[in-house]
Amino acid sequence: MNRKIYIILILALAFVTKSCDKFIEEELVTDVSAASYYTTAAGLRDAVRATYSTFKPFYGQEMGAAMMTFGTDIWTNGADGGHKVFNFYDGGLNGSESYIPASWDNWYQGINQANGVINRSADVEMDDSEKTVLIAEVRFLRAFYYFNVVTTWGDAHLSLEETVGIEVEANRTSQSEIYNQAIVPDLEFAIANLPDEQSDYGRATKPAAEFLLAKALLTRSYTAFSEGSDASRAETLLGNVINNYGFSLLPNFADLWDINNQENSEMVFVIPNSKSQVDSGIDGFGHRWHLYFLHEYDVRRGMTRDIANGRPWKRHRPTDFMLTLWDRDVDSRYDDSFKHVWFANKDEPPTDAVGDEPARAALAIGDTAIYIPGPGKDVDWPQSRQDGVPYLVYSNDEYTERLFPSLNKWIDATRPDRQKTQGQRDFILMRLGDAYLLRAEARLQQTNTTGAADDINVIRMRSAVPGMEAASQITPGDVTLDFLLDERARELTGEGHRWWDLARTGKLVERTAMHNPGAAPNIQDYHTLRPIPQNQIDRTLGGYPQNPGYPQ
Amino acid sequence: MLFVLLSVLGATSIYASSASEDVNYSNDEVQSTVTGVVTDENGNPLPGASVVVKGTTTGAVADFDGNYSISVASEGVLVFSFVGYSASEVQVNGRTTINISLQPDASLLDEVVLVGYGTQKKGEVTGAIESVTAEQLSIVQVSSTIEAIKGQIAGVDVQATGGRPGQNPTVRIRGRRSISASNDPLYVVDGIPLIDGSNSMADINPDDIASMQVLKDAAATAVYGSRGANGVILVSTNRGRVGKTKVTYSSRYGVTSATRLVDMMNGEEFADLKRESRRIGWNGAIPADTEVFLDPIELESLSAGRSTDWQDLVLGDGWQTNHQIGVSGGSENTTFSTSIGYFKEQGIISNQDFERFSGRVNVDHKINDIFKVGASFLIAKTEQNWGSDATVQEALSNNPLGVPYDADGNLAFLPTNDGIRTNPLNELVEGAFIDERQQTRIFAPIYLDINIMEGLKWTTTFGPDIRIGRRGTFAGSLTNTNRGGPGRAGIINVNDFGYTLENLLTYNKALTPKQNLKVTLLQSIQKSRLEINTGNVTGIPYESQSFYNLGSATQGGVLTSGLTEWALASFMGRVNYDFDGKYLFQASIRADGSSRLAPGNQWNYFPGVSAGWRLAQEEFLAGTFVDELKLRASYGEVGNTSVLPYQTAGRLGSSVYAFGEAPALGFGLSEIPNEDLTWEVSKTLDIGVDYGFFNNRLVGSIDWFRTNTVDLLLERTLPTTSGYGIVLQNIGATRTQGLEFSVSYGIIDNDGDGFNWDMDLNISGYKEEITELALKDANGNPIDDTGNNWFIGSPINVFFDYEKQGIYQSSEEALATSAEQKVPGEIKLRDVDGDGVITPDDRRILGSDVPDYYGGWNNKFKYQGFDLGVFFVFRQGHMVQSNFHANNNALFGRYNNLDVDYWTIDNPTNAYPRPNENQESPRNGSTLRYFDGSFIKLRNISLGYTLPQSITEKLKMEKLRLSVSGQNLWFISDYETFDPEVGEDEGSLNSSVVPSNKMWSLSLNATF
């Protein structure tokens, strides 16, 4: 008996005894590490894809909407949501406002990723021409992210090397140096090495790099450190974009917002969203801007929330000023950008008169339930006429933070359900229409109002109401910086350019104070730069300077 | 030390062979039968007392009346023993009748306690070890063993979060050492260190536990090396004893309800808040009601005086029941203990419950004098219905002017026209929301003992631990999750397999009659393998399927899977030496190698030494009131690698992008590879006294300790300009110093059925401070790390923020503007540096979550068959940062709010700021969320009655006790929520916390 047990024990011990070091060896199975994966061609390609993904937490999300739309001359706050401090410019707009560190973190994470790709690519064995294009894409992206950093915060940290180990120091490099060391050389490299077109839709291309460099140079042309050639180079680069690659304006402005024709001839560079990835939840950063510009239709008579009308988060509401910009008899862009009619999607019994509310007839599904006549048309809708129809009519004097003309550009009726916040639309970063307006601005910078008027007229012609083509055109005498900004509002409203447009042209404080009553009492000159995140200041060894004007 | 061990082993092998010859010899003796009665000191029979012929395995057990009968050589010696009584040896001397009365164990201090890889008499223990008896565990009636020890042991801080059935509390022994690494103690069940922390204890039925020991100081835990860093809790389950088969049955039933509700606003109060939030500016006019209340339902409710109490609608009564049958016994060679248990708790929210079936078989079998085998087999199946987090959240946040039912009496999905706030009752509709968490656990340590020779024993233990978990979730269309969108479902499968294999060699030797030596050597390996896979889908076509047909969903889902493995290899040696039972000494060293660290840093050594002097054994204290007085001192080092596996590798994070419609997934930099990651080491010095006075009527212990932790594993935030926001690093050092005091006092001590009053009190406190950080000034002195809220000389977790001074009053308009760009009615911050403006320099340390002291106070009264227990727990002097208030005190007039005293132009309070619809939270609202978290809680009060023996005998029972008890009936605290106990992670106390409950219960315990 005992012998048997001993034998079994010895056998068992022989089986289980292994080398200790082998036993505690760690093997990474589920994940991969940069040290092993980024040395391969596949790893480098994945690293490049990861560099693109930095766009997504900002553009198409509430962060981007709040930071680029609030606090401008054309948009003010609706009823709901936080982050209204970006509209009010009150003391709450400081380095602790959550979008300040969130956006800063995002761009610097992207920059470090780009630095990593560029630094590590030297050791990767792959086809040299493919590698060069990949590096050019990544340098384009790095320039993009640095451009966003300087246009948001001004002087900031500059690093062109991947962070190795733990880095608790940060530098404050002047904007001009960031242009000279990063943005401009990166884009020049990208222009030299990127192809005109890429088989993958959404990858950086040569025209995209030219567009971005033009915008960067144009931005620099307004600054104290501008170089004499900035505006003319910008004009040339935009000319290349307009002329060299076969881009063309869509015939109708409204066609731009056709969700079934997103990959069209006007798109220069977009953030593509894959419907299948967004709907399945793999991509949590689908395009959400369909939420933010809608008024509270869903609790009104005859209406309930549905997919086609959207999920109204009522974040952004047009300022009265913006609504005066379009001459709707000549220009179709208001009607192509805003929604006027909501059709009943539930039956409604007739109602009796209560207080100011008149009695209204019953509504059946499909009947008009809400009508917003919009700018210039209110005269047709005196109260007596409003009271006489079975549906609700909201005229200009009745707009509130909950009820207002709703931007329809991003509406996404293809979402799988009415609650889904992530949509499938591509986020447009550069389109040809913008290229014309930027070239007009570059020409205006060189006091070439004739050239500027030519570019503006191309845009205006496209959206002229049939028969009003001639009336839509302007003369060189009309072109001023303010006119140009008005034109950009007419064309690009709600597309995420406004705050940067105003900051670039030095018009942020003047125009916002004049036209945005929420911002007017507080906005000051220092608001053309955002505050440095408080956690950057707290975490950096030796501290980090705050931008002027904010609590130091 | 190894040399000593080897020479001892070599020198003693001679003795072994002669010992086995003795056994053979006695078997050849002439036998006679001896009978008699075993009684206690009062002459009452002791059924189940055991009688063994000394030096043999021959034994017998006393029957119900204490009678025994045994065969023994006429010159043999009988050993009588019974639990709780001193064993007695009697020379037979040819007698055939021997009646014996056993004396109760003179001193509790002689009880044998587990000390990690062995046992020791309590009197000889030199480390800080505290015991919990089965009786103590039964004081409070809970599902979890861990919950049961709350407040019972000095230095052990158990905190629960809310009242969700089956929720695991957090356990901290002597405070927290590390902020990033785990602070969970190690649980060792029947000798096997469990793979997981507190979660893995949830499957163990408290009724199966015979005793628990808590090892607190590093000298005691050093034998567990890296796994002992946060203290060790040793658990032994019931094992059988030779003797009559014993059957126990216990049962209880209790009803539960919320201990406390929070004071939210009613309809009228909320209407006032909403009106104020719409005021034009801070001093303008309030618009007409028709402009404030845009929802017709609000106006209707206002005119009708209607208000909905949502808490009342969702909270109901729950219940708890527990049944346990145990059978134990055994013959000479084989003993067993088996039990079946069933526990179920129905929460106070209708779709929350917890259920556990558990079965246990413990068997020990002596093959012969050399070999012994045994197994402890546990199988448990638990099911927790988590319920919807939205239930309480919606009950708190919904507008009291809203209505739960429409005109036809149907459940309204939206009580108002606010699309965000859904009716909490929707979550409770049968089948609407399911979050079912099942777990099957098989834990089956087996062992083989080999008595190689007298005093030398080899033990091999293999402990597999298998956990199979499945979480199924389903949210129907009409739930807060989906708000009318299509249903969602998902499944998470967890497959967790771990094992421990240990070889243990122990050697006991009396070197001289006065000197004892004990040597323990261990080799151990431990491995864990965890697989998780998940699937989530949206668009469930028919809701009745719940989560049982994911493939039918209209929208494909997200699939994930992952594998996590870790391994630990260890060697340990320990020597115990005592002289005359007075001077005690122990030294140990353990080497651990962990897979979680990079090669080169994997191995470390953890020494521990301790010594004790039992003054009470000295001549000069003999015959005094001092029964026990022992001075202890110990020093030990333990390590912590409770970092997650793979953290040294610098893993890439997956990224999502698309090129056109095609996926463009990638992998991006997301972690700084940190190959330097190494062991966090805690070095603890402990000085203690164990005392027992007045015939041990007054017993207890006092401990002082100081722990210096170096190479602290800290998750450090970085300036994000580096591209990384966080890194896990060995940086800095902390010092924790504390004092623990416990006393048990028999205040009134009458023999027999007289009136008795026993009291137990324990109080502990500790101070925690950071002594070193990564950042250094030019002279190399550590400097504060403001970005991480770490400050030299302060605890690790402090609240660093502005301090609210009051509210800007109407007369302070100019100051409000100049100091903070605010207006009257907003929060006024303290201008610490007095420069007239509020800047980040005005932030300061407001407090920390470290309590000044905490503990428990238990009183037991006995008179005749009655017993009464009153048990309080307390925790004082810590600060709470309340997420509950962040959610429920936002003061913006859209969601319901705590009923607070807020500022208006007509109510110049300094308590809370003016409601304002334009902000989702008041500016500097975080300053409204710091509270003194101190509390005293009546944990338990119970009244029991044990039937007199005259009656139980007629019922053929050994013992029958009935009791009624009330739990968590009362607490006092300034922190106004459902329960001031918030758990360690104050972040988990959010608005969806389930209110804690109180319970009244009836229970019955019977032994046959």
Structure tokens that stand for B315 in this block: 């909270």
Residue among B596, B786, B839 minimizing CB distance to A538: B786
Q: Does residue B876 register a pLDDT over 60?
A: yes
What is the band of B178 on the pLDDT scale with cuts at 50, 70, 90? low
Q: Determine contact, residues B878/B887, Cβ cutoff 8 Å.
A: no
Query: Strands A392-393 and A368-371: what pairing?
Result: parallel
Average model confidence (pLDDT) across chain B: 86
- Rounded Cα–Cα distance for residues A50 and A57 (Å): 13
% of residues, chain A, pLDDT over 70: 97
- Rounded Cα–Cα distance for residues B275 and A422 (Å): 34
Q: Determine contact, residues B971/B932, Cβ cutoff 8 Å.
A: no
**Predicted pLDDT at A321:** 97
Instruction: Tell me the mean pLDDT in the region A428-435.
Output: 98
Residue among B565, B661, B923 minimizing CB distance to A275: B661
Closest by Cα among A218, A206, A211 to A179? A218
Residue among A21, A416, A540 minimizing CB distance to B555: A416
Q: Do B666 and A16 touch (CB under 8 A)?
A: no
Read out DSSP for B896-915? --B---B-BTTB--SSBPPP
Interface test with B, best of A61, A158, A166, A259 (most B CBs within 10 A): A166
**Predicted pLDDT at A371:** 96
Helix%, strand%, coil% for chain A, nearest 5: 45, 10, 45
Q: Does residue B36 register a pLDDT over 60?
A: yes
Give, as one character, the DSSP assignment of residue A173: B
Q: Does B726 touch chain A (CB under 8 A)?
A: no
Which of A187 and B409 is assigned the larger pLDDT?
A187
Give A-chain residues touching B652 at CB under 8 angstroms.
Answer: 31-34, 37-38, 50
Per-residue pLDDT reduced to its tens digit, A495-505? 999 999 999 99
**φ/ψ of residue B60, rounded to 5:** -150, 170
Interface subset of B 34-73, CB within 8 angstroms of A: none
Name the minimum distance, in Å, from the CA of B211 to any CA of chain A: 31
**Among the ranges given (B167-171, B281-285, B634-638), the one the predictor scored with the smallest mean pLDDT:** B167-171
Burial of B393-404, coded b for 16+ CB within 10 Å and e otherwise, reads bbbbbbbbbbbb
Give A-chain residues touching B568 at CB under 8 angstroms.
Answer: 24
Interface test with B, best of A417, A421, A523 (most B CBs within 10 A): A417
Per-residue pLDDT reduced to its tens digit, B468-499? 999 999 999 999 888 888 889 999 999 999 99
Interface test with A, best of B291, B670, B720 (most A CBs within 10 A): B720
Read out DSSP for B933-960? --EEEEEEEEEEEEPPHHHHHHTT-SEE
Interface subset of B 182-211, CB within 8 angstroms of A: none
- Rounded Cα–Cα distance for residues B366 and B57 (Å): 10
**Predicted pLDDT at B807:** 97
Name the minimum distance, in Å, from the CA of A52 to any CA of chain B: 7
Q: Do A50 and B667 touch (CB under 8 A)?
A: yes
Q: Determine contact, residues B8/B519, Cβ cutoff 8 Å.
A: yes
% of residues, chain B, pLDDT over 90: 46
HEC readout, B460-486: EEEEEEEEEEEEEEEECCCCCCCCCCC
Name the minimum distance, in Å, from the CA of B736 to any CA of chain A: 26
Query: Strands B371-385 and B446-453: what pairing?
Result: antiparallel
**Predicted pLDDT at B818:** 92
Give B-chain residues touching A280 at CB under 8 angstroms.
Answer: 538, 555-558
Residue among A23, A49, A163 minimizing CB distance to B723: A163
Q: Quick one: angle between helices A99-121 and A62-69, nearest 10? A: 110
What is the band of B596 on the pLDDT scale with cuts at 50, 70, 90? confident
A414 residue type, one letter:
T
**Predicted pLDDT at B5:** 36
Read out DSSP for A69-129? HTTSSSEEE-SS-S-THHHH-STT-STTSTHHHHHHHHHHHHHHHHHHHHHHHTT--S-HH
- Rounded Cα–Cα distance for residues B616 and B631 (Å): 10
Residue among B564, B646, B659 minimizing CB distance to A272: B659
Burial of A16-28, coded b for 16+ CB within 10 Å and e otherwise, reads eeeebeebbebeb
The position carrying tokens 């420069």 is B835
% of residues, chain B, pLDDT over 70: 93
**Among the ranges given (A249-253, A465-469, B8-12, B972-976), the one the predictor scored with the smallest mean pLDDT:** B8-12
Read out DSSP for B273-338? HHHHHTSSTTTSPPPPHHHH--SHHHHHHHHHT----HHHHH---EEEEEEEEEEEEE-SSEEEEE
The count of residues in chain B is 1008
Q: Do A539 and B564 touch (CB under 8 A)?
A: no
**Predicted pLDDT at B179:** 63
**Predicted pLDDT at B26:** 41
What is the band of B30 on the pLDDT scale with cuts at 50, 70, 90? low
Per-residue pLDDT reduced to its tens digit, B358-408? 999 999 999 988 999 999 999 999 999 999 988 999 999 999 999 999 888
Residue among A1, A90, A279 minimizing CB distance to B368: A1
Give B-chain residues touching A203 at CB under 8 angstroms.
Answer: 659
Q: Does residue B647 register a pLDDT over 90?
A: no
Structure tokens that stand for B482 in this block: 């989906």
Closest by Cα among A429, A114, A152 to A269? A429
Give B-chain residues touching A105 at CB under 8 angstroms.
Answer: 720, 725
Cβ-based contacts under 8 A for chains A and B = 292
What is the band of A109 on the pLDDT scale with cuts at 50, 70, 90? very high
* List of residues 6+ apart from B522 with CB closer than 8 A: B117, B223, B502, B503, B504, B505, B570, B571, B572, B573, B590
* List of residues 6+ apart from B731 with CB closer than 8 A: B711, B712, B714, B716, B772, B773, B774
What is the band of B6 on the pLDDT scale with cuts at 50, 70, 90? very low
- Rounded Cα–Cα distance for residues A533 and A54 (Å): 19
Q: Do B555 and A280 touch (CB under 8 A)?
A: yes
Q: Does residue A441 register a pLDDT over 80?
A: yes
* List of residues 6+ apart from B549 with CB closer than 8 A: B540
**Predicted pLDDT at B173:** 84
Interface subset of B 782-801, CB within 8 angstroms of A: 785-788
Cross-strand pairs, B1002 = B253, B964
Burial of B475-505, coded b for 16+ CB within 10 Å and e otherwise, reads bbbbbbbbbbbbbbbbbbebebbbbbbbbbb
Secondary structure (3-state) at A262: coil
Name the minimum distance, in Å, from the CA of A337 to any CA of chain B: 24
* List of residues 6+ apart from B477 with CB closer than 8 A: B484, B485, B486, B487, B543
Q: Do A33 and B673 touch (CB under 8 A)?
A: yes
Q: Do A535 and B787 touch (CB under 8 A)?
A: yes
Per-residue pLDDT reduced to its tens digit, B681-691? 889 999 999 99
Q: Determine contact, residues B1007/B255, Cβ cutoff 8 Å.
A: no
Which of A21 and B985 is assigned the larger pLDDT?
A21
**φ/ψ of residue B639, rounded to 5:** -115, 170
Interface subset of A 387-416, CB within 8 angstroms of B: 402, 416
Phi/psi zone of residue B387: left (φ > 0), alpha (ψ -120 to 50 degrees), beta? left
The position carrying tokens 């028709």 is B290
Q: Do B723 and A274 touch (CB under 8 A)?
A: no
**Predicted pLDDT at B791:** 93
Q: Determine contact, residues A59/A271, Cβ cutoff 8 Å.
A: yes
Q: Does A377 touch chain B (CB under 8 A)?
A: no
Q: Does B560 touch chain A (CB under 8 A)?
A: no
Closest by Cα among B460, B611, B583, B519 to B7? B519
Per-residue pLDDT reduced to its tens digit, B448-475? 999 988 889 999 999 999 999 999 999 9
Average model confidence (pLDDT) across chain A: 94
Residue among B370, B484, B645 minimizing CB distance to A26: B645
Instruction: Tell me the mean pLDDT in the region A500-518.
Output: 97
Q: Does residue B817 register a pLDDT over 60?
A: yes
What is the band of A235 on the pLDDT scale with cuts at 50, 70, 90? very high
Name the minimum distance, in Å, from the CA of A551 to any CA of chain B: 5
- Rounded Cα–Cα distance for residues B968 and B140 (Å): 10
Name the minimum distance, in Å, from the CA of B640 to any CA of chain A: 16
What is the band of B664 on the pLDDT scale with cuts at 50, 70, 90? very high
Q: Do B673 and A34 touch (CB under 8 A)?
A: yes
ipTM confidence: 0.94
Give A-chain residues touching B522 at CB under 8 angstroms.
Answer: none
**Predicted pLDDT at B407:** 85
Instruction: Tell me the mean pLDDT in the region A39-45.
Output: 95
Phi/psi zone of residue B107: left (φ > 0), alpha (ψ -120 to 50 degrees), beta? beta
What is the band of B19 on the pLDDT scale with cuts at 50, 70, 90? very low
- Rounded Cα–Cα distance for residues B488 and B503 (Å): 50
Q: Do A91 and B720 touch (CB under 8 A)?
A: no
Interface subset of A 206-265, CB within 8 angstroms of B: 263
What is the band of B14 on the pLDDT scale with cuts at 50, 70, 90? very low
